[in-house]
Amino acid sequence: MSQSATQTTRLRAPSGAAARAMGLTKVYGEGQTRVVALDSVCVEFGRGRFTAIMGPSGSGKSTLMHCMAGLDSLSEGSAHVGDTELSSLGDRQLTKLRREKIGFVFQAFNLLPTLSAIENITLPMDIAGRKPDQEWLKLTVGTLGLSGRLRHRPSQLSGGQQQRVAVARALAGRPEIIFADEPTGNLDSHSGAEVLGFLQESVRGLGQTVVMVTHDPVAASYADRVIFLADGRLTDELAAPTPESVLDRMRILDTNGPVR
Amino acid sequence: MLRTALRNVLAHKARLIMTVLAVMLGVAFVAGTLVFGDTTANAFRTATGTSLKGVAVSVQSQQSQEPPGAAAAGGPDGKPSSTLNTALAHKIRALPGVAAVRPTVIGEVTVAGKDGLPVNTDKARQHLATNYLPGKDSRISLKEGRGPASEGELALDAKTAEKAGYRIGDTVRFAIDGPALAKKLVGTVSTDDPRVNAGGTLTLFDTRTAQKLFLHPGQFHEIAVAAKDGTDHRELTDRVRALLPDKGAKATRGEDLAAEQADQIVEGTGALTKALLGFAGIALFIGAFIIANTFTMLIAQRSREIALVRAVGASRRQVVRSVLIEAALLGLGASATGFVLGIGIAVAMRPLLNASGAGLPDGPLVISSGTLVWSLVVGVLITVLAAWLPSRKAAKIAPVTALSSVDQAPPARALVVRNVLGALLTGAGVLVMVYVSTLTTTAKSNLMTAMLGGVLTLVGVIVLAPLLSRPLITLAGQATTRLFGVTGKLAKENALRNPRRTAATASALMIGLALVTGLTVVGHSAERALVADATQGLSADYKVSNGSLSGTGLDVGAAAKIARVPGVATAVPTTTAGFDTKGGFAQITGTDPKAFGKAARLDFRAGSLRDIGPGKIAVSDELADKGGLKVGSTLNAGTTTGRAEKERKVKLKVVAVYAKTPTMEDALGTLADVLPYSDNKKLEEVLVKAEPGQAAGLERKIRAALGDSPLMEVQSHEQAINDGGRAINLVLKMMYGLLGMALLISVLGVVNTLAMSVFERTREIGMLRAIGLDRSGIKQMVRLESVVISMFGAALGIGTGIFLAWAGSGMASSTMDAYETVLPWGQLVILLALALAIGVLAAIWPARRAARLNMLQSIQSS
């Protein structure tokens, strides 16, 4: 496992980053309605690391994730997933990139109600026309505690279980990087903790790379590193966070206001 | 409430567009039919009014009501006689109050073109002829040249002259019921007679010639009397009546005659209007499914909004009323547009029907206020009724739904009640139709039973459709999954997601396809039956007969004349006579038994053609069974055929038995035995077999050998086959056109359902895009869902259609002996392909919308 991870690392970008952005700028609208959502952001998401993006609403944290994940286009700068540069890709290539190299967990509405849990998990691979790696699938499903629920439809699962299925789907294709957008936003604290635990486990135990957008300091504390965004700029970062240290940092940001 | 409803309609403009279109088309159909009916009836009234303008009293010879030469009692020359004559005309003219009399002779003339072939071969069109009365007949006006004045002259209506290629001064060849005649064309006329304008021909002679041709000198068929101003028409009629002989003539007041004729015509157009309204009803019924689907979906989407209204204090009844008002507004708008469109349809309908020979007169468009009211009422009513069930669902939404954070689809209600009801209806329908399949007459009660069974079956299948959707769509889905992978699978799952909606969408398509299929199967079977009737058992290359409506037959010598034509191998004379036998009415064909075998094929069970001779006949197996006959027994036949003869008994010995064919049903004897009992003692047909390789082009030579009368019908084997199919094809085409409207509306239904589904599944589509399904994949998913639903509708429709057509076969075979249900596989495959195409076409717009959805907005929208 670690053997192959080192091998791929050596073959890929020397930075050791699963994804990185250079001078990433995103502007919406024109003239009077012009809004700069991201203002030359430079950031790297380390391979095999769990990174949380935090910031108040409107800070651009979701936009950053969308741009890095190939869901939204860049206005300026560059973004890489692995060694693929995103700004030059068309819709078709971005789609291909998403299904081959990226996993997603959204806040809600992650699953197709018509498909069973296992069908939802293998959906990206079915779309790509790939056969899932059965051992890896078993491992993820087992790790997420879903073995007994694979034939259930989403409507027969609890909210926490649905998000675990979403995490399993993101993991199943062994993507370069997993983006999670407020994955616990709709869950009670117990289910939320469970899902975050699994995300953490998928990084520590399975060697995956996870980037999570959240506004919850407790959720952020599960990450290895937290970066803070305000008014479209990277303002701060924190390694080995705890809920308290994240909260402290946020308080400082709040009182000082965004750095201009 | 009204304001909320209005806002809702406006807010959902895009989503309501298909529903509006469906209602609009249905109403347009209704309005178009009504306007067309009023317009046509009015035009006919005007036309009859014009043709009887100035006629105060019409005196008609009652024999001349029938076509000349038929059963009318004739003089020694075989021509009919009339009690109306010049003397009577003078007497009427001399009555006080009479301004003028117009005595007319009416007949039929078949005009030959320059090429010698009849100008007008369509039997539905009329070949009119009358006497030309200079200055007296307002219905006919001279266009070119002058009116016929002597025995050697005639005039034609301008269109016929042009079609035939005649110019003034040319010699026109024509026939009445016998040999070809020729006269010089001295003028062309125009007329507003609808029968002529519909493609018929009009030939004019001077009065003396017309009398010679159609009656006897000095006689007339009709005397039209014009009155002086201020004369009471009723009294005048009585006075005229007093002059008439006891029998054979009738005087009618002009106004009464006009009303009588108008009533007849209006009754005729009324039947057409009713048939068209039937189709409009089908279109509206299909539209109702779309309306119901739309409102169900709108209410599901709006459930939180409705719950909120309920939470702040609206009653259930207010919610229902709000939805119904919304439906009424929608229906009103759509109906108003449909009404305008309908006027356009009415305008287009006349030339369309006239192109197929309906002969409808020209006239101003009649738009009655009744039509407007009916169109609006029907449109609003159908929309409100279709929205009624969904509105009740809306009322059941609990106020607490507004407070729950997750929006969950309401749990699917169990379909148990619906399935039981559906099974009962379908079962009853199938039982009735199985009973119908045993019926062998087309009595009115039987037709009503068949109608009931058909409707029950269709409604039953519609009610059962959600139940049937699971297995059938799963089956179709397996195919799409195998062919298209994951998009095919998603399409199947989406189609299965809401069985009621899928079923309603497919049902709309099913109704149209069931009717089209039924029609296609019956039409195909009937065509085969007609072709079999005309050709089965015959190997002749040509069939020669007298084509005049009076069916006067061919001279006995015709066969010999044809036989002398170079290239003809054999000419077999045939005639028929009807006999009463122990086995019921039987038609015996008389022929030349030696030659017969060369032009026809009969399969002999006992004996052979050679055994037939004077007093010796062959009978069909059917007649043998019915009459208890076998070789050696004697057939006692009674006949009353032949003019004014009392029943005669004939004894014929049975010497052979053959298998019945549609062309040779009962018995076969010698010409000499049968001819004395036949109509007019003439031949009915001459069957012609050509020398090998000489069949082509024989028609002209045969015509020439028989004096080139345009009445002569020389039908080749191929023509016989085509003629069998043509009549049916025309009817089929019209019905297809009308059902096309129903299919169009059902396509709108599929578009509607898909568009709504795409709208509902915005977030899913966004998610699918995010995890890697590209735009073309999304499109394919929507398209396949559409195809799967359409194929489901097609399977139900085609299946039901075939079943209904099969059940009606017993009744059809009562009017067509050779009728049996034959499945037109090619056409059924085309229908299936059509359904496939409908699926693909209906998906174009929704699929494009789905593919163009903004991914990020879709994911985040809630």
Select from A110, A114, A126 the Cβ nearest to the Cβ of B486: A126
Question: Contact A96/B774, CB-based, under 8 Å?
Answer: yes
CB B227 within 8 A of CB B239: no
Same domain, yes or no: B17 and B70: no
Task: Read off the tokens for B288.
Answer: 């109702």
Q: Is residue B736 part of a domain?
A: no
For position B66, what pLDDT does the model report? 42
Which residue from B409, B767, B772 is facing A109, i.e. has the nearest CB? B767
- Both B564 and B682 in one domain: the answer is yes
Do both B113 and B177 map to the same domain?
Answer: yes
Do B267 and B298 sit in the same domain of this protein?
yes
Kindly list the residues from chain A whose CB atom is less than 8 angstroms away from the CB atom of residue B772: 95-96, 98-100, 124, 127-128
Q: What is the distance between the alpha carbons of residues B104 and B133, in angstroms, rounded to a whole number?
A: 8
Tell if the CB–CB gap between A114 and B774 is shorter than 8 Å. Answer: no
* pTM for this prediction: 0.75
Contact predicate B27/B198, CB 8 Å: no
Q: Provide the pLDDT for residue B727.
A: 67
**Partners of residue B785 in chain A, C-beta under 8 Å:** none
For residues B655 and B595, membership in a common domain is answered with: yes
**pLDDT at res. B359:** 63
User: How far is Cα B142 from Cα B759, in angstroms, rounded to an integer?
Assistant: 68
> Can you list the residues of chain B whose pLDDT is less than 70?
1-2, 63-79, 121-125, 194, 198, 355-359, 401-414, 547-552, 640-647, 724-725, 727, 861-862
Find which of A65, A73, A98, A102 to mutate to test the B interface (most B CBs within 10 Å of its CB).
Answer: A98
How close B523 gets to chain A, by Cα (Å)?
A: 44
Say what the pLDDT of residue B75 is. Answer: 45
Task: Look at residue A64 in the predicted model and tell me its pLDDT.
Answer: 92
Cβ–Cβ below 8 Å for B771 and A169: yes
The reply to whether B490 falls in a domain is no
Confirm whether B563 is domain-assigned. Answer: yes
Query: Which of B98-136 are b and which e, b meaning 16 or more Cβ less than 10 Å from the residue's Cβ?
Result: beebbbbbbbbbbbbbeeebbbbeeeebbbbbbbbbeee
Best probe of the A interface among B501, B771, B774, B785, by most A CBs < 10 A, is B771
Mean pLDDT of A148-177: 89
**Same-domain check for residues B38 and B123:** no
A182 touches chain B (CB under 8 A): no
Closest by CA position to B724, among listed B516, B534, B452: B534
User: Which of A173-187, A229-243, B43-57 is predicted least confidently?
Assistant: B43-57
pLDDT tens-digit readout, B561-582: 888 888 888 888 888 888 888 7
Among residues B201, B230, B253, the one where a domain terminates is: B253
A109·B763 Cβ contact <8 A = yes
Indicate if B64 and B176 belong to the same structural domain.
yes
Partners of B658 in beta bridges: B604, B620
Average predicted confidence (pLDDT) for chain A: 85
Domain count, chain B: 3
**Per-residue model confidence (pLDDT) at position B72:** 41
Are B287 and B367 part of one and the same domain? yes
Lowest mean pLDDT among A4-8, A150-154, B764-768: A4-8
Examine residue B422 and state whether it is found in any structural domain, yes or no: no
**Contact check, Cβ <8 Å, B775/A95:** yes
A112 with B862: Cβ contact below 8 A: no
Cβ-Cβ pairs closer than 8 A, A with B, add up to 72
B82 neighbors B219 (Cβ within 8 angstroms): yes
Of B409, B496, B772, the CB nearest to A128: B772
Residue of chain B nearest A96, judged by CA positions: B772
Q: Are B261 and B188 in a shared domain?
A: no
Instruction: Give residue A49's pLDDT.
Output: 92
Among B493, B772, B859, the residue with its CB nearest the CB of A99 is B772
Q: Given strand A233-239, what is the order of strands in its sheet?
A: A102-105, A177-181, A210-213, A50-54, A225-230, A233-239
Which chain B residues have a beta carbon less than 8 Å from that of A71? Answer: 770, 855-856, 859
**How close, in Å, is residue B762 to chain A by CA atoms?**
11
Q: Does B855 touch chain A (CB under 8 A)?
A: yes
Q: Which of B490, B768, B775 sits opposite A91 (nearest CB)?
A: B775
Rounded to a whole number of angstroms, the distance from the CA of B508 to the nearest CA of chain A is 25
> Is the C-alpha dihedral spanning B30, B35, B38, B40 positive or negative?
negative
Quick check: B764 contacting A, CB < 8 Å? Answer: yes
At B431 the pLDDT is 93
Same domain, B164 and B71: yes
What pLDDT does residue B510 have? 93
A109 shares contact with chain B (CB less than 8 Å): yes
The predicted structure's pLDDT at residue B647: 66
How far A126 CA lies from chain B's nearest CA (Å)? 6
Cβ-based contacts of B859 with chain A (< 8 Å): 71, 106, 109
What range defines the domain where residue B237 resides?
55-253
Co-location of B30 and B97 in the same domain: no
Please answer yes or no on whether B859 and A112 come within 8 Å at the CB atom.
no
Q: Which of B684, B705, B726 is the last residue of a domain?
A: B705
Which ranges in chain A belong to alpha helices (H)?
Answer: 2-11, 61-68, 91-101, 117-128, 134-143, 159-172, 189-204, 217-220, 243-256
pLDDT of B801? 94
Specify if B427 maps to a domain.
no
Q: Which of A115, A126, A128 sits opposite B493 (nearest CB)?
A: A115
A114–B contact, CB cutoff 8 A: yes
The answer to whether residue B390 is domain-embedded is yes
* Chain B residues close to A98, C-beta within 8 Å: 770-772
Query: Which is nearest to A75 in space by CA: A85, A87, A63?
Result: A87
Please check whether residues B32 and B155 belong to one and the same domain.
no
Tell me the pairing of strands B685-690 and B542-546.
Answer: antiparallel
Instruction: Please judge whether A109 and B489 are an interchain contact, meaning their C-beta atoms are less than 8 angstroms apart.
Output: no
Residues from chain B contacting residue A92 (CB–CB below 8 Å): 774-775
Residue A164 to residue A173: CA distance in whole angstroms: 15
* Rg of chain A taking only CA atoms, in angstroms: 18
Query: What dihedral angle (degrees, nearest 10) is formed by the CA atoms of B472, B475, B479, B480?
Result: 60
Whether B490 and A98 lie within 8 Å, measured CB to CB: no
- pLDDT tens-place string over residues A211-223: 999 988 999 999 9
* Domain architecture of chain A: domains with CATH: 47-71+89-256 (3.40.50.300)
Residue B753 maps to a domain: no
Round to whole Å and give the CA distance between B762 and B856: 11
pLDDT of residue B438: 86
Does residue B517 lie in a domain region?
no
Report the alpha-carbon distance of residue B318 to residue A146 in Å, rounded: 47
List of chain B residues whose C-beta atoms are within 8 Å of the C-beta of residue A108:
862
**A22 three-state secondary structure:** strand
Domain ends where: B363, B389, B406? B406
pLDDT of residue B282: 87
